[in-house]
Structure 1
């Protein structure tokens, strides 16, 4: 079975002759350990070094160890690595990837840097200490090795002072955002002497192998994202104090209604750490020459007071918010900045917020919020206008491209739209006029751009997307490996082959079509099933193959649960039977299509989303794919072919009649019965993958790589799979599964109703009431699925579970 698709030899890597097969990280703190873990995720062996401890722990004394014991000398890095598997999804894709990290210390193991192709310094944020470490690295690195520093704002050129020319040519900044696994942004900061070829290679490598969104930043304080993000937070705090807004009111305004994360302003500060934020803000204030900008980055006294009290956020137990436990459960309190006292956090209601909530789509939400005049939309505008102007003022200083600035804010701060995209959405010309009427100074280049007849920074037209660059429109640089369905649809309606309310069939070039789900949450309903059938017919007649992928937040959250519940509560059993039959039929059409089909799921891929992938000839899992048949969580069992495909795969791995496949059946039963979801694409591959399936690191390359897989299958002379038949374990196997479930019920792990569902599932996975070793057809297994589903959806307890999930977003135990 494949694991990670190797893209290292593609593109620029062949041309430059550069390569990275082994890395080293110096510093095993949160960031250093996280970076080492992500290198391990990408299949890169990594040496992780830290200082030698100067004292023994009580446990080490008790064990008779000394300061010379290797276990003591390696303690810091070893403890960091040992903690990685337990950290789960925050660090490693699979716990066993920790084996790719070798812990050590900088006294005994520094000589091993000679073996590393990339050495990353991640020590404390002090220039003098970083310079000392870089001097040590230079004395040992091989001439071809890349060296980078992970810093949030210290000058790259200052660090490289007194280093050799060869070192400086291979040295640059690589600012990972925390946590490195989950945060897409990587700011690459070349020094004044960095070889452009090194910068190009590292950009390509980090995009492909590490899956990062790379932006090129200039060597200025805090680079791009932290520079603008910190400015925005300080502006927000000042507007809050000036307007008398509460903590809750500010977070209500600066969250999703403006295309920002739910953590908004103050929850974000609590998560980051208020003391950490102060350090980042001071870095700008201390290093910018302009007095006005120094004043902007001077932190208000109230934040200094919070830090002096130790109220630094979550790590300090309280900050702008405080969580307390009472008799009726936990309660969230918010801080009154005037009195420095906490009070119960209340919900904020306003016409502008309600207008945003009612709107569909992020762009409509922002327009609705800002277009409804009240004190909350006024706060939003007062913050936004200053952030937009600041971003425009810094163009050329922190980055040359507005696209890099927009990407940095979207990938590093999880904004839905970057500053210049937001400006376009609000209307460039009219907002500039309003800003000037309100006394703000708009940068000269923005006014010149408008005076030249331009009404936006970005423009979509035939031939692609264009953006402002040094006084003219320049085509947005997209790699051939990045196929954007949104861009294809925007450029030409001719790219849409077929369309309905829930899905599109799109021409992605070279004779390959892409089936895109577009319903709310990409939930599968009749419209998507209809488009699957239409897609099969269209591809059969006119295309070389089919990709199943989309660009939604999640690939697919499953079938339309609300519709199913409404039909059940109305007693429309024939309708439900027809829906299940149509679902099964659509999946079988995909599987029997005479052209290759490749699925490229990402993020949440649940229930029916899984069943839409399993008929494909290949599945290319994005590394962040949370994949699972979760129907038991709402009192049902998978009935779109998920159980059937699971049985077929297990049977295919055990063709011998005497082969014992019960162990695999037991594992599959537990996985589906417990509604287990993978924590990564690598775990999804382990749970559901077939021999030719693989994992992709960069989500932007999913559709391109799926298309290439389709073309490779077609060129190899593709033939569709023959109708499947499975050897099942029958009554004997079912008895084993039911015995296990009964034990869990008696132990209190599952309820009586859970046991009923498990018994239904056991009957499907073992082939029903037949002797062990019986060979059954796919349709036979599909019929078992449908019958079990229909019997369960008619139960009151299942309907209660469905209703609870829809209302609360979590399963009900009844």
Structure 2
């Protein structure tokens, strides 16, 4: 049968239920949100004259949850307006509406009997064939549904979202013994494409994959800490980026998750495994029990392993001494191994450096790592059938840089197994059999194709056309051109891709040179160009360190040449006779935005934080960003009598206040998204979709945009904006230097000293940009802002 999900329902409007509902709304799925009927009125309801039969009261929990979605930070919604796609209700009055949805998600309290009860109610009203899933972090999917009909069980499975659902990539799909394989396959594909998830298939075992291994790893870490006398700060210094883990490391993570929540998750394994050895491993340490009994459960309790206090010097972070249960100021941790790791470039090199430099911190990392690797190997076949699913679960669910089996390969499989056994560890027999057969790794790259261990042999990772790997293409020698900051790559079907590779993908002369070379190459030999990369962020903007150094050295001719080169490079992209599609993701700021604006289409990743933020370092956009928005405003209002001032005011506010979008969808609110632009939910698919957009335009007979002039609001419009900045300066809202920057920006956006209605060329506006940029770059206060940003990573107000 052909399935689709047009409408969904979520039962349970707590933190997870409402956030899952928000993400369904994010991707365009209308959703019903139901919860129980309150048993009593609030004082506010009584004062308003409401009764227990009033719909506002009966739907209170869902209504409050929807209202909270608009206030929560980080935002669960891509755009606040998407909350309109959620319909509130309750399970007494609106249960019958479940007959009209295609997917029902149960997200009630993590207690088996409560879940069984609500599933029985769902079965009484759902139409046959409707998919029902449970969001649980570890309760048995089979046990929940064993009392229900076979038809229900065929369409029932676990869908374990990770919190927060919008941002966390992992979704564990847990089939029951009776779930139809067609349902599993459909849900896997749907959740990947439509929800943007990384899906792994987990077995119906306690805590499934990610929480099983992650919880084990945290408990092992605690045990090492207690046994060897490490401090909270020492453990977090080792178990963060040095080991390829998030900055929150161990104890900041526990504080964020909630120590009480972690104890519940650990107890779920302890209560549901039969092995005494495993029970002992998941026994909750006394220190955690003590913290829970004191109410020191992490951030939601005001304190946990860390505590923030206010002092005369500002906020101070204290850390817990687990021997005395007292707090003291956090101390910096330094050692040879940590310094070696910090100096190494890239996550792989950091971990290797940490392990290769012997000291007590290197020892801690090894003792944690060896136990987690052995445990992961022991659980293969029990919690999941594939090492790829286990690795992906840890990368996507716990934000590890490498999964356990990838880590084992990285540190040397044979060498590390020999060390483990020499130290008394029991390595699973299948790992030793694999080594005995002459294999040296769990993964193997053969001609750009990846193979992995599967049941005693190498199996090829499934090649999926919608996932284009630039790393794999480079291994297949598909690079057309290359320099120190960028590559031009053949991505197939006569389409080329421009990839930035500089640190933070900051745009400098090397990238600009490659843009110009790429335009020439594509014009002569390719059907079109995609601009995308696989970096952590698309681009943080221009290389401000380089510009600051040049300015402080007085190299003004060189700076003028660089800005001119930036502008001509962007114009070359815009005028290219072949289609250009940009596919930005995550942080796309300043010059990164200006590299996208000339494209015929922009395919924003759902998580794209897009903005011209140069005023934050005392500058204005000078790579065509201002010009492009002024031109778009003029072209969108061809009537010569149309008032452009309101639109120019909005652009001025957006750039002057360094606003960036909070999502790909939010670029529309800020005026960056055009009708031909769109949002790609699954970031892994964006290069493929950008390539398809190039091919579509090529097949349709692409012609580049004709040169255009912009109608500007002129000196009268500039006076309007300058009055705004004057008033704000007078009121103390902005500094004198802020006012100077804003007035320079106003001069560009209004077209300079010309009458209202004047038609100006793109080059004229570019010249205004370049002049303003260079003059601001010469200002001492701007240089101070640039230095502060480089040193502190945040803007200076001076």
Q: Normalised by the size of structure 2, how large is the TM-score? A: 0.99
The alignment partner of 1:355 has SS state of: helix
> Is this contact kept in 1: 2:588–2:610, CA < 8 A?
yes
- Would you say 1:120 and 2:111 are equivalent positions? no
The alignment partner of 2:246 has SS state of: coil
How far apart are the structure 2 equivalents of 1:787 and 1:439? 70
Greater relative contact order, per chain length (Cα 8 Å cut-off, separation 6+): 1
Question: Which residue among 319, 322, 327 is the counterpart of 1:337?
Answer: 322
Task: Name the counterpart of 1:8.
Answer: none
Measured after TM superposition, the shift of residue 185 of structure 1 is 0.4
How far apart are the structure 2 equivalents of 1:717 and 1:395? 52
> Is this contact kept in 1: 2:159–2:172, CA < 8 A?
yes
The alignment partner of 1:189 has SS state of: strand
The alignment partner of 1:90 has SS state of: coil
The alignment partner of 1:364 has SS state of: helix
Task: Name the counterpart of 1:529.
Answer: 512
Measured after TM superposition, the shift of residue 157 of structure 1 is 0.4
How far apart are the structure 2 equivalents of 1:193 and 1:582? 63
Task: Name the counterpart of 2:17.
Answer: 32
Measured after TM superposition, the shift of residue 90 of structure 1 is 2.5
Q: 1:177-220: per-residue Cα shift (whole Å, max 9, x none)?
A: 00000000000000000000000000000011100010000000
Q: 1:680-715: per-residue Cα shift (whole Å, max 9, x none)?
A: 000113320112000010000010000000000000
Number of equivalent positions: 797
Q: 1:559-593: per-residue Cα shift (whole Å, max 9, x none)?
A: 00000000001111001101100100111111111
> Is this contact kept in 2: 1:322–1:333, CA < 8 A?
yes
Measured after TM superposition, the shift of residue 482 of structure 1 is 0.5
Task: Name the counterpart of 1:53.
Answer: 38
The alignment partner of 1:292 has SS state of: helix
Question: Which residue among 376, 390, 399 is the counterpart of 1:391?
Answer: 376
Point out where structure 1 has 5 or more consecutive residues left out of the alignment: 1-15
Spell out the pairing of 1:270-289 with structure 2 (5 A cutoff). Answer: 270-289=255-274
Task: Name the counterpart of 1:402.
Answer: 387
The alignment partner of 1:686 has SS state of: coil
- Would you say 1:241 and 2:231 are equivalent positions? no
Question: Which residue among 677, 689, 708 is the counterpart of 2:692?
Answer: 708
- Would you say 1:71 and 2:56 are equivalent positions? yes
How far apart are the structure 2 equivalents of 1:737 and 1:470? 69
Measured after TM superposition, the shift of residue 83 of structure 1 is 1.2
Task: Name the counterpart of 1:260.
Answer: 245
Question: Which residue among 771, 796, 802 is the counterpart of 2:755?
Answer: 771
How far apart are the structure 2 equivalents of 1:724 and 1:753? 34
How far apart are the structure 2 equivalents of 1:417 and 1:527? 31
Q: 1:627-656: per-residue Cα shift (whole Å, max 9, x none)?
A: 000000111000000001001110011111
Structure 1 pair 752–625 and aligned structure 2 pair: CA distance change class (3 A) = same
Spell out the pairing of 1:509-658 with structure 2 (5 A cutoff). Answer: 509-658=492-641
The alignment partner of 1:87 has SS state of: coil
Q: 1:262-281: per-residue Cα shift (whole Å, max 9, x none)?
A: 00000000110111000000
Task: Name the counterpart of 1:10.
Answer: none
Question: Which residue among 742, 754, 776 is the counterpart of 1:792?
Answer: 776
How far apart are the structure 2 equivalents of 1:656 and 1:596? 29
Spell out the pairing of 1:407-556 with structure 2 (5 A cutoff). Answer: 407-462=392-447, 464-490=449-475, 492-493=476-477, 495-556=478-539
How far apart are the structure 2 equivalents of 1:208 and 1:587? 32
Measured after TM superposition, the shift of residue 463 of structure 1 is 5.2
How far apart are the structure 2 equivalents of 1:705 and 1:724? 29
How far apart are the structure 2 equivalents of 1:724 and 1:564? 31
Task: Name the counterpart of 1:759.
Answer: 743
> Is this contact kept in 1: 2:448–2:472, CA < 8 A?
no
How far apart are the structure 1 equivalents of 2:472 and 2:353? 25
Measured after TM superposition, the shift of residue 749 of structure 1 is 1.1
Measured after TM superposition, the shift of residue 88 of structure 1 is 5.1
Task: Name the counterpart of 1:92.
Answer: 77
Question: Which residue among 101, 106, 109 is the counterpart of 2:94?
Answer: 109
Task: Name the counterpart of 2:188.
Answer: 203
Task: Name the counterpart of 2:175.
Answer: 190
> Is this contact kept in 2: 1:89–1:679, CA < 8 A?
no
How far apart are the structure 1 equivalents of 2:675 and 2:301? 48
Task: Name the counterpart of 2:151.
Answer: 166
> Is this contact kept in 2: 1:49–1:106, CA < 8 A?
yes
> Is this contact kept in 2: 1:153–1:223, CA < 8 A?
yes
Measured after TM superposition, the shift of residue 328 of structure 1 is 1.1
Task: Name the counterpart of 1:156.
Answer: 141
> Is this contact kept in 2: 1:74–1:103, CA < 8 A?
yes
Measured after TM superposition, the shift of residue 804 of structure 1 is 0.6
The alignment partner of 1:215 has SS state of: strand
The alignment partner of 1:83 has SS state of: helix
How far apart are the structure 2 equivalents of 1:723 and 1:734? 25
> Is this contact kept in 1: 2:448–2:473, CA < 8 A?
no
How far apart are the structure 1 equivalents of 2:323 and 2:391? 35
The alignment partner of 1:726 has SS state of: strand
Task: Name the counterpart of 2:201.
Answer: 216
Question: Which residue among 726, 732, 735 is the counterpart of 2:716?
Answer: 732
Q: 1:70-109: per-residue Cα shift (whole Å, max 9, x none)?
A: 1111100100001111225430000000000001110011
How far apart are the structure 2 equivalents of 1:429 and 1:463? 24
> Is this contact kept in 1: 2:634–2:644, CA < 8 A?
yes
Measured after TM superposition, the shift of residue 509 of structure 1 is 0.6
Q: Which runs of structure 1 show a deviation greater than 2 angstroms over 4 or more consecutive aligned residues?
A: none
Point out where structure 2 has 5 or more consecutive residues left out of the alignment: none
- Would you say 1:83 and 2:68 are equivalent positions? yes
How far apart are the structure 1 equivalents of 2:728 and 2:4? 52
How far apart are the structure 2 equivalents of 1:93 and 1:477? 31
Measured after TM superposition, the shift of residue 64 of structure 1 is 1.3
How far apart are the structure 1 equivalents of 2:315 and 2:178? 55
Task: Name the counterpart of 2:285.
Answer: 300
> Is this contact kept in 2: 1:644–1:778, CA < 8 A?
yes
Q: 1:468-516: per-residue Cα shift (whole Å, max 9, x none)?
A: 11111111124210101112222x12x1111111111111111111101
Q: Normalised by the size of structure 1, how large is the TM-score? A: 0.97
> Is this contact kept in 2: 1:311–1:318, CA < 8 A?
yes
How far apart are the structure 2 equivalents of 1:463 and 1:533? 29
How far apart are the structure 2 equivalents of 1:745 and 1:679? 28
Measured after TM superposition, the shift of residue 55 of structure 1 is 0.9
> Is this contact kept in 1: 2:715–2:752, CA < 8 A?
yes
How far apart are the structure 2 equivalents of 1:724 and 1:419? 56
Q: Kindly report the root-mean-square deviation, in angstroms, between the aligned alpha carbons of the 2 structures.
A: 0.8
How far apart are the structure 2 equivalents of 1:257 and 1:162? 48
